[in-house]
Amino acid sequence: MEKKIKDIWVFGDLRNRKLFELYINVLGRAKKFAGSACGRVTAVLIGSSNTRLKFDSHRETHLQLEAAADESISRGADYVHIIDDSRLALPRADSFASVLADAVIRQGPMLVIFALTDFGRELAARTAKMTNSGLIAQCMDLKMEKGRVVAKCPSSSSGVMAEIIFSEESRTGFVTMQPAVSQTPEAQGSPGHIDWIKADHLDILEGPKLLSSSPLRETKRPLEEADTVVVGGGGLHNAENFYMIRELAETLGGEIGATRPPVLQRWVEEERLVGQTGKTIRPNLLFSVGTSGAIQYTSGIKDSKVIVAINRDKDSPVFNIADLGIVADAKTFLPLLINRVKQTMTYRKGEH
Amino acid sequence: MDIFLSDKNRLVQRIAHGFCEREIQPIAGKIDKEARFPWDVVKKMGELGYFGIQAPKSLGGAALDTVDYILIIEEISKSCAALGLCVAVHNSVALYPLLAFGSEEQKKKWAPQLTSGNKIGAFCLTEPNAGSDASGIESEAISKDRYYVINGSKAFVTNGGVAGIYLIFARTNPNNGNKGISVLIVERGTPGLIVGDLEELCGVRANPVSSVSLNDCEVPSQNLLGREGAGLSIGFAALDIGRIGIAAQAAGIARAALEEAIRYSKQRHQFGVPIAKHQALSMMIADMATRVDAARLMAYRAATLRDKGESFSQASAMAKLFSSEISSEVTDQALQIHGGYGYSKSYPVERYYRDARVTRIYEGTSEVHKMVIARGIMGN
Amino acid sequence: MGVNIIVCIKSIKSTASQGQRSFSDELNPHDRATLEVALRIREDLGGTITALSMGPETFATSLHETMAIGVDRGILISDRALAGSDTLATSHVLAAAIRRLAPYDLVLFSARTADSDTGQVGPQTAVALELTIITGVCSIEQGKNSLLVERNYDGFLERYEVYFPAALTIHQSAIRPRDTGFLRIQSVFEKGLECWNHTDLGLNREEVGEIGSSTRLFSLSQTKKMRGCTFMSGSGPGQADQLVKALLQLDMI
């Protein structure tokens, strides 16, 4: 049986450097998968090479098509498709989906992969629908099994991973992918051929009018951007004890987070809520103090680099996701920890 | 109990649960400590229909049934017994008598104010010298032309400190014994109606319980509720329903204590294991859970009998007796399970313990209930 | 006059907290904010709100709740053939149902659900209806004949002017939902829900459910402990010491 070369497309987000890096990350993961699947990776870039962008914020950060294509190749793409049209200057999920769907129908890649961003999500959803294809979301890992693509994703139940496949009749499968926490080593793609594609069948609906677009100030998302977060739960029992969470966070130069009970009891503002109905955070260091470990909460913190859990109950499920565990009553342990940290930091300051 | 509930009941329960968890739970400890009536939450509850649960739509009520009513009272009481008491008393012994015995004009005049929660209702029967012996009340209402002049003093009026409408039980006929007592509706602000100081209580502290005095208080004859002499039968009819509410309140308090005890016993380790694994404790929890379950089912049965139009006095007396008695037992056990922490105000258990205690006393003491139940069985 | 608003809601498995009875299916908490948006628009412009949900019969409880919150009509799309639907099939069914409710002005979805985070159904349904959609809306204002909406899109604060008919997915930070009360409950159950199946929508079996889906569940597996937890031994000061040492070693402090 002839081994057909499988085309794996990865959508390239050119809106700014940060989003581009997320795409490159996913490109690396696609490359790794392609290696095991006898496939090749094609970056798909959409935009306009000769139109001036309307909004200042866009102009300042948007990458140039050709430069992005070159960079994609040097960082892993074997091929690049560029869809270049003046009507595609402004990144819009509806117009991009239209031309992408057209290209997918004509060329029939095995997979089209998007980094899990707001835009990636929406573009993937639209394009999959327009091509009547399946879409697997939040993929953590891809593999080939018995000639089929198998995607590993979190399921709605706690502690359970689902493996999802595309149906037999599927021609092209769509996947949104979590950027990897650990960096995959980058290598030049080959042969590094760039294709310029015409934008046919460009249907732009009488769409919504974009009135303005400005980059959000970084300070607006302190919890999501913090390196260190201390999360307090119901196990702290009252607002006075919860104050120690603030102290620990301050001492470490981090932010405070909370699970539902402290928010319900008004010991802390709702903006601090972490978990499914609150914020998802990925700090370097996370303390989980007096929290139960329920999935509605842990799903919001599980990608933290190092998790320290402090809980009275040694069988608490929170220890299943922790790297370092302390079985102790937070009320008595926190003051000791805060002191010790303070001592250490003063000592280190003295060292420098 | 879930198996007996209709979809509507379950929706009512879910809605009540959500509101109580979000709005009442966070403040319950504080208002108990401060003995403060939470007007802001109460106003919200008024807008949502908590103060007209079974009243007809035409009068601003939610037109729900008695089962819905007890589910609501239980959920509120689980978060805060004092508020549960306020809502129960307002609905069952203040609003209900007006709806059941009032004239069309009276209902039109006062019901909308009550169902919206703009005015809270209070039931004034007990006096310093007349508690269990209701017929021993000494307050008088003398008919003068188109007025009644009321004199007397009332004790331990639930909601007394904040009520806008008081149902005053007084003698209109000094010679007719039980048949000489009538009910008069008196609005706050009526000259001669004096709301006394708030009682400082052991439990349900956020409920503004006070004395109420009447000094030559003049009210129009149109404020007579029902007929002259019908006072006690109105009062007892109201208390029959009030008891079901109290049964639900006590069950709610007990449930809260039980849940805390279960949580604590799973977390607390002694002798190398969670104390839940100690047999003495697990036996206790089994006992507590069974009693709480039984109390809820008894309240449910009494409510269902009423909704079906069947006689329910015995059932409601039994439910109130049982539920209040077990709530004291269960809260006591929950406190014991918590050990020293149970005795500390940093944990809610001691509040449940204090709140449960009064349920054996008001709306008929346990002793009175036993009399009533015995009479119902034996005849005479 | 007024606007005809359709809100697509979802139910999630509720968490049974210990000691309490479990409510088996409950309204997706994020949908409350979406419903609140619909209620406010109806307050301003008049009209009707219809809640739609595709799922098994147990999803009826959530629809009843939306009606208690203030929705005028609750429609459950339910039958055996619909089981196993992925978002492709779901959006196909929802689009058919929404077409049946035409003319409509606004279709609303929640940007996320509390149990999964796909955010796909909204855009896919909008594509099927050829309807403009703005996802992740976190603020809405009435314009002259339009809605002015804002969203945070990958770090860009975008502002759009949207004309009816349109679709929006609402981020739950957009608005604080009002408390639900009891005043409508009696009429909710007097009125009841409407129940549609796939033939009512003019669809064949092949278009819906598992057959109509393009993705399938292959397997489920329990995650092994992703991390190995190292416990600090001893007590109190000893544990604090050990912890700080460990964090220093990991270069975390």
pLDDT at B235: 96
8 Å CB contact of A125 and C220: no
Closest CA to C187 of C78, C73, C75: C73
Tell me what the mean pLDDT of segment C128-147 comes to.
91
The residue length of chain C stands at 253
Nearest CA distance, A319 vs chain B (angstrom) = 14
**pLDDT of C114 higher than 80:** no
Averaged pLDDT score across all residues of chain B: 95
On whether any CB of chain A is under 8 Å from the CB of B144, the answer is no
Q: What are the pLDDT digits (tens) for A88-116? A: 888 999 999 999 999 999 999 999 999 98
CB < 8 Å to C162, chain A: 208-209
Query: What is the assigned CATH class of domain A219-351?
Result: alpha beta
Q: What are the pLDDT digits (tens) for B269-310? A: 788 788 999 999 999 999 999 999 999 999 999 999 999 999
Question: How would residue C239 be classed by pLDDT, with cut points 50, 70 and 90?
Answer: confident
- Residue B373 or residue A187, greater confidence: B373
Among B22, B346, B347, select the one facing A264 at the smallest CB separation: B22
8 Å CB contact of C181 and B57: no
pLDDT at A53: 81
**pLDDT of C146 higher than 50:** yes
Domains, in order of start, for chain B: 2-120 (1.10.540.10), 122-230 (2.40.110.10), 232-378 (1.20.140.10)
CB < 8 Å to B263, chain C: 18-19
8 Å CB contact of B25 and A237: no
Q: Which residues pair with A112 in a beta bridge?
A: A9, A174
Residues 301-330 of chain B whose Cβ lies under 8 A from any Cβ of chain A:
none
Q: What are the pLDDT digits (tens) for B215-229? A: 999 999 999 999 999
pLDDT at A159: 63
pLDDT at C15: 56
Nearest CA distance, C218 vs chain B (angstrom) = 36
8 Å CB contact of C21 and B49: no
On whether any CB of chain A is under 8 Å from the CB of C222, the answer is yes
Enumerate the H helices of B268-365 as residue ranges: 279-307, 313-338, 340-343, 349-357
On whether any CB of chain A is under 8 Å from the CB of B188, the answer is no
Lowest mean pLDDT segment, chosen from A214-218, B92-96, B289-293: A214-218
In B, what residues contact C, Cβ < 8 A? Answer: 1-2, 7-8, 10-12, 14-15, 18-19, 22-23, 44, 47-50, 53, 57, 62-64, 68, 72, 255, 258-259, 262-263
Cα–Cα dist C68/C184, whole Å: 5
Its pTM stands at: 0.85
Closest CA to B247 of B363, B100, B115, B91: B363
8 Å CB contact of C68 and B53: no
Nearest CA distance, A280 vs chain B (angstrom) = 22
Highest mean pLDDT among A54-68, A315-329, B296-310: B296-310
Question: How would residue A351 be classed by pLDDT, with cut points 50, 70 and 90?
Answer: low
On whether any CB of chain C is under 8 Å from the CB of A183, the answer is no
pLDDT at A102: 93
Nearest CA distance, A191 vs chain C (angstrom) = 32
Start-to-end Cα distance in chain C: 63
What share of chain A in percent tops pLDDT 90?
Answer: 47
**pLDDT of B254 higher than 80:** yes
**pLDDT of A130 higher than 60:** yes
Averaged pLDDT score across all residues of chain C: 89
CB < 8 Å to B49, chain C: 181-183
CA quadruple C55, C57, C62, C65: dihedral sign: positive
CB < 8 Å to A274, chain C: none
pLDDT at A350: 67
pLDDT at A183: 66
Query: What is the assigned CATH class of domain A6-197?
Result: alpha beta
Judge contact between B229 and B179, C-beta under 8 A. Answer: yes
Nearest CA distance, A237 vs chain B (angstrom) = 7
8 Å CB contact of B49 and C18: no
Tell me what the mean pLDDT of segment A308-331 comes to.
88
Q: What are the pLDDT digits (tens) for B101-126? A: 999 999 999 999 999 999 999 999 99
The residue behind tokens 């000893």 is C238
Neighbours of chain C (3+ CB pairs under 8 A): A, B
Interface test with C, best of A324, A339, A342 (most C CBs within 10 A): A324
pLDDT at C78: 96
pLDDT at C17: 43
**How many Cβ atoms sit within 10 Å of the Cβ of residue B313?**
19
On whether any CB of chain A is under 8 Å from the CB of C158, the answer is yes
Enumerate the H helices of chain B as residue ranges: 7-19, 25-34, 39-48, 66-79, 81-89, 96-101, 104-115, 231-267, 279-307, 313-338, 340-343, 349-357, 366-378
Judge contact between B54 and B63, C-beta under 8 A. Answer: yes
Tell me what the mean pLDDT of segment B323-333 comes to.
98
On whether any CB of chain A is under 8 Å from the CB of C22, the answer is no
On whether any CB of chain B is under 8 Å from the CB of C183, the answer is yes
Tell me what the mean pLDDT of segment B48-63 comes to.
97
Q: Based on C-alpha coordinates, what's the Rg of chain B? A: 21
pLDDT at A229: 95
Q: What are the pLDDT digits (tens) for C150-208? A: 998 988 999 999 999 999 999 988 888 999 999 999 999 999 999 999 999 999 999 99
8 Å CB contact of A313 and B269: yes
- Residue B10 or residue A270, greater confidence: B10
pLDDT at A2: 44
Nearest CA in chain C to B75: C20
Interface test with C, best of B8, B10, B11, B15 (most C CBs within 10 A): B11
Closest CA to A119 of C66, B243, C207, C136: C136
Omega within 30 of 0 (cis) for the link into C103? yes
With vertex at residue B128, the alpha carbon angle to CA B123 and CA B129, rounded to the nearest 5 degrees, is 110
What share of chain C in percent tops pLDDT 90?
Answer: 64
Q: Which residues contact C41 (CB under 8 A, 6 or more apart)?
A: C3, C5, C47, C106, C140, C142
CA quadruple A27, A29, A31, A33: dihedral sign: negative
Question: How would residue A135 be classed by pLDDT, with cut points 50, 70 and 90?
Answer: very high
**pLDDT of B15 higher than 70:** yes
On whether any CB of chain A is under 8 Å from the CB of C215, the answer is yes
pLDDT at B268: 78
Nearest CA distance, B243 vs chain C (angstrom) = 22
CB < 8 Å to A266, chain B: 26
CA quadruple B256, B261, B266, B269: dihedral sign: positive
pLDDT at A334: 93
Domains A6-197 and A219-351 share a fold: yes
C106-110 and A160-166 beta bridge pairing: unpaired
Determine if residue B87 is left, alpha or beta; phi over 0 gives left, psi from -120 to 50 gives alpha, anything else beta: alpha
Helix (H) or strand (E) holding A65: helix A65-74
Residues 92-111 of chain C whose Cβ lies under 8 A from any Cβ of chain A:
none
8 Å CB contact of B53 and C182: yes
pLDDT at B80: 98
Cα–Cα dist C54/C76, whole Å: 6
Judge contact between B239 and B93, C-beta under 8 A. Answer: yes
CATH superfamily of C3-207: HUPs (3.40.50.620)
Nearest CA distance, A155 vs chain B (angstrom) = 27
On whether any CB of chain C is under 8 Å from the CB of A118, the answer is yes
**pLDDT of A312 higher than 80:** yes
Secondary structure letter of residue B130 according to DSSP? B
Domain-by-domain residue ranges, chain C? Answer: 3-207
Q: Is B74 an annotated catalytic residue?
A: no
Cα–Cα dist C38/C48, whole Å: 9
- Residue A351 or residue C60, greater confidence: C60
Highest mean pLDDT among A213-227, A276-290, B14-28, C189-203: C189-203
Cα–Cα dist B323/B329, whole Å: 10
Tell me what the mean pLDDT of segment A57-61 comes to.
81
Cα–Cα dist B185/B110, whole Å: 9
pLDDT at A1: 42
Tell me what the mean pLDDT of segment A179-195 comes to.
79
Q: What are the pLDDT digits (tens) for B70-90? A: 999 999 999 999 999 999 999
On whether any CB of chain B is under 8 Å from the CB of C24, the answer is no
